């Protein structure tokens, strides 16, 4: 009996609670100047007119007139306004509100004011249960604190977090910049913006592009992701991501970095870069490679780090590279530890074990300065321990050595060399039919050397020269090599791929192939004569003191130890060698 009584009491309490909740959920009429029903009033509705005030839970509604329906909904018109929790106000010309679903549909001249920003649109649906408002046919937002004006085709407002989501044709206008994007999120409290999809940020002096990122207006910092790009003062910075400090105007780019100078027509690639926008200074490292157009030919350069800046005095861009610098161009290749490139004057300074290759020439010195004209080599300064080696054939090398040298180029080929201090040369003169005469070694403090197709054609001496010509049958089988000789062909890059891979395989293979072909060639008559002379050991070798010194069209110089042979003696020696060759050729 007591159990039954308890069940009845519980049922009655639950019923009364449900009725109380139901009553609490109903839209309440607080005031209306007029209240009634006429023949035009829809069935199940009461017409309210004049200073209408309604309440649903913690939301107050105001309007000029309304229809209050029995199904707990209201249709309001004229100066419609909803105020919720003193933190949100919604205004419009008309409203339909369903008290059961808590969805308010505002139409025409709709305004949402959350205290820090204002949204204006003509179509807005607001769900009070979730605190989300949505517009679909164009809207605009104004931020009171930052002076931001934003427009979009569609958007959502989350009242609890005070975050706006914008979609389609989004344009945000700030006093300092304008953002164009497809999708954007904006927090008026945090003053932070997120963008999704292709985005363009337009400043007065620069443009920024990305596909995803954020911008913190309070901290003046931004992060741009996916195909990020900054265009500023003739410079372009690209990367997978760019961290940008708006206040300091510093950009840090990571992964697939590209820095482009549009005025100097060069491009730098890497995986890490810092760009100081105000001073137009950039550092690029990690897999760095630079490319510059030189009159249709591309100059490629790699190094551990590249530093690019503007000379404040000369107002020209200077490029410095540090450690493991290598470069490639069709008519020249080189490497050194560090390099300075003056882009306006097209001057390259190479430091710390520099080496330069041009055609068959290898050039080394303590430091090298190279000047360019119309994209090709024009003049070269070799300072301290200068050394030029030219590959004469498979085993012989023409050599020029001195303290300092100046090299002159014509049509990208070395044509003349001035030697200053301790000048030395080794070269291999030939007959008109290219028969090798021997090896000539000369010494003179200062000299000028004329070169054609990597072959020495004429030498002018200026101070007590000495010279010695060793005929072919008496010279070493491998030729002569000056002190410090080091043929570094294995280091020469044969293509831009060698720069990227840190190799020189194409050049090595090329030389190896040439040497193999030389080994397979039949021996020349001179080589047979030398071998025969060596094997039989019957012929008397001419002494070193009688060896001649000759250069085709060259100046013939006396030796210090003994005078050089006269022209008649040289002619006699040539005739003697020629007769020996003819006698061997007879059957």
Residues 272-307: tens digit of each pLDDT: 999 888 888 889 999 999 998 887 788 899 999 999
Kindly give, in sequence order, each residue whose CB lies less than 8 Å from that of residue 125, ignoring residues fewer than 6 positions away.
103, 104, 105, 106, 133, 134, 135
- Please give the angle made by the CA atoms of 345, 347 and 348, to the nearest 5 degrees: 155
User: 191: phi > 0 → left, psi -120 to 50 → alpha, else beta; which?
Assistant: left
Classify residue 575 as exposed, middle or buried by CB count within 10 Å of its CB (0-12, 13-18, 19+). exposed
Q: Minimal CA–CA distance to 425: which of 305, 285, 551?
A: 551
Query: Residue 305: enclosing H or E segment and its boundaries?
Result: strand 297-310
Does the predicted model carry a pTM greater than 0.75? no
Q: Average pLDDT of 325-349?
A: 90
> Of 40-49, 142-151, 197-206, 441-450, which range is least confident?
142-151
- Answer whether 294's CB lies under 8 Å from 316's CB: no
Q: 541 or 344, which is more confident?
A: 344
Residue 19 three-state SS: helix
- Answer whether 236's CB lies under 8 Å from 250's CB: no
Please report the pLDDT score of residue 167 as a whole number. 93
pLDDT digits (tens, 9 = 90+) for 470-510: 998 888 888 899 999 999 999 999 888 888 888 875 444 44
Tell me whether strands 455-461 and 438-452 are parallel, antiparallel or unpaired: antiparallel
Q: Minimal CA–CA distance to 504: which of 493, 495, 488, 514?
A: 493
Tell me whether strands 28-31 and 34-36 are parallel, antiparallel or unpaired: unpaired
Please report the pLDDT score of residue 414 as a whole number. 85
Classify residue 484 as exposed, middle or buried by CB count within 10 Å of its CB (0-12, 13-18, 19+). exposed
396: phi then psi, degrees, rounded to nearest 5:
-105, 150
Please report the pLDDT score of residue 557 as a whole number. 35
Please give the Cα distance from 295 to 382 (Å, whole number): 25
Please report the pLDDT score of residue 579 as a whole number. 55
pLDDT digits (tens, 9 = 90+) for 243-275: 999 888 898 999 999 988 887 778 999 999 998
Kindly state the DSSP code that residue 136 receives in the 8-state scheme. -
Please report the pLDDT score of residue 122 as a whole number. 94
* Most confident of the following: 284-288, 342-346, 463-467, 564-568: 284-288
pLDDT digits (tens, 9 = 90+) for 556-567: 333 333 333 444
Partner residues linked to 523 by β-bridges? none
pLDDT digits (tens, 9 = 90+) for 107-162: 999 998 877 788 899 999 999 999 899 998 899 988 877 788 999 999 998 888 88
- Answer whether 309's CB lies under 8 Å from 279's CB: yes
pLDDT digits (tens, 9 = 90+) for 393-447: 778 899 999 999 999 988 878 889 999 999 999 988 888 888 888 899 999 999 9
Dump the DSSP string for 20-62: HHHHHHSPEEEE-SEEE--TTSPTTEEEEEEEEEEEETTEEEE
pLDDT digits (tens, 9 = 90+) for 77-95: 999 999 987 778 899 999 9
> In the chain, what are the domain boundaries?
411-482+515-587
Kindly give, in sequence order, each residue whose CB lies less than 8 Å from that of residue 53, ignoring residues fewer than 6 positions away.
29, 30, 31, 32, 60, 61, 62
- Which two tokens mark 346? 């097209």
For CA atoms 544, 546, 547, 551, the dihedral sign is positive
pLDDT of 369 strictly over 80: yes
pLDDT digits (tens, 9 = 90+) for 178-194: 999 999 998 877 888 89
- Answer whether 351's CB lies under 8 Å from 336's CB: yes
- Please give the angle made by the CA atoms of 27, 30 and 35, to the nearest 5 degrees: 90
Partner residues linked to 282 by β-bridges? 275, 308
């Amino acid at each position: 009996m007591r159990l039954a009584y308890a069940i009845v009491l519980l049922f009655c309490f639950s019923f009364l609670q449900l009725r109380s909740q139901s009553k609490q959920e109903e839209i309440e009429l607080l005031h209306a100047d007029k209240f009634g029903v006429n023949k035009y009033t829809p069935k199940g509705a009461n017409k309210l007119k004049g200073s209408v005030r309604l309440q649903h839970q913690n939301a107050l509604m105001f309007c000029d007139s309304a229809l209050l329906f029995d199904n707990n909904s209201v249709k309001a018109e004229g100066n419609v306004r909803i105020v919720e929790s003193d933190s949100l106000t919604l205004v419009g010309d008309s409203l339909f509100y369903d008290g059961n679903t808590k969805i308010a549909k505002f139409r025409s001249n709709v305004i949402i004011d959350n205290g820090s920003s204002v949204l204006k649109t003509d179509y807005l649906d607001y769900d009070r249960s979730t605190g989300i408002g949505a517009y679909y046919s164009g809207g605009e937002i104004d931020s009171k604190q930052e002076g931001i004006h934003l427009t979009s085709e569609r958007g959502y407002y989350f009242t609890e977090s005070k975050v706006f989501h914008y979609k389609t044709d989004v344009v945000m206008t700030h006093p300092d910049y304008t953002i164009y994007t497809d999708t954007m999120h904006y927090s008026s409290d945090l003053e932070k913006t997120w963008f999704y999809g292709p985005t363009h940020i337009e400043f007065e002096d620069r443009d920024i592009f990305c596909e995803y990122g954020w911008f913190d207006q309070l901290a003046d910092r931004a992060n741009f992701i996916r195909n990020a790009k900054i265009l500023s003062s003739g410079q372009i910075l690209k990367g997978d991501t760019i961290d940008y400090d708006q206040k300091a105007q510093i950009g840090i780019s990571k992964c697939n970095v590209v820095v482009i100078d549009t005025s100097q027509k060069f491009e730098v690639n890497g995986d890490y870069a810092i760009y100081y926008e105000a001073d137009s200074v950039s550092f690029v490292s990690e897999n760095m490679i630079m490319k510059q157009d030189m009159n249709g030919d591309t100059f490629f350069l790699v190094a551990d780090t590249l530093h690019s800046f503007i000379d404040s005095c000369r107002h020209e861009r200077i490029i410095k590279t540090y450690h493991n610098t290598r470069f490639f161009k069709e008519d020249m290749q080189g490497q050194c530890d560090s390099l300075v490139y003056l882009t306006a004057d097209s001057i390259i300074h190479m430091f710390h074990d520099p080496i330069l290759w041009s055609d068959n020439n290898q050039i080394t010195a303590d430091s090298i300065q190279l000047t360019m004209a119309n994209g090709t080599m024009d003049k070269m300064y070799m300072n301290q321990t200068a050394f030029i080696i030219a590959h004469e054939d498979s085993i012989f090398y023409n050599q020029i050595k001195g303290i300092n040298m100046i090299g002159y180029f014509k049509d990208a080929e070395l044509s003349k060399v001035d030697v200053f201090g301790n000048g030395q040369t080794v070269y291999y003169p030939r007959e008109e039919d290219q028969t090798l005469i021997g090896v000539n070694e000369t010494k003179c403090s200062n000299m000028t050397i004329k070169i054609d197709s990597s072959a020495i054609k004429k030498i002018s001496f200026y101070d007590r020269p000495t010279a010695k010509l060793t005929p072919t049958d008496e010279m070493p089988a491998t030729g002569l090599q000056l002190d410090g000789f080091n043929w570094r062909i294995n280091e020469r890059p044969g293509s831009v791929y060698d720069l990227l891979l840190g190799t020189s395989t194409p050049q090595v293979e090329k030389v190896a192939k040439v040497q193999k072909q030389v080994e397979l060639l039949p021996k020349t008559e001179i080589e047979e004569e030398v071998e025969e002379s060596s094997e039989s050991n019957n012929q008397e070798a001419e002494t070193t003191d009688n060896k001649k010194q000759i250069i085709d069209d060259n100046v013939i110089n006396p030796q210090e130890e003994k005078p050089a042979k006269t022209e008649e003696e040289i002619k006699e020696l040539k005739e003697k060698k020629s007769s020996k060759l003819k006698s061997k050729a007879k059957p």
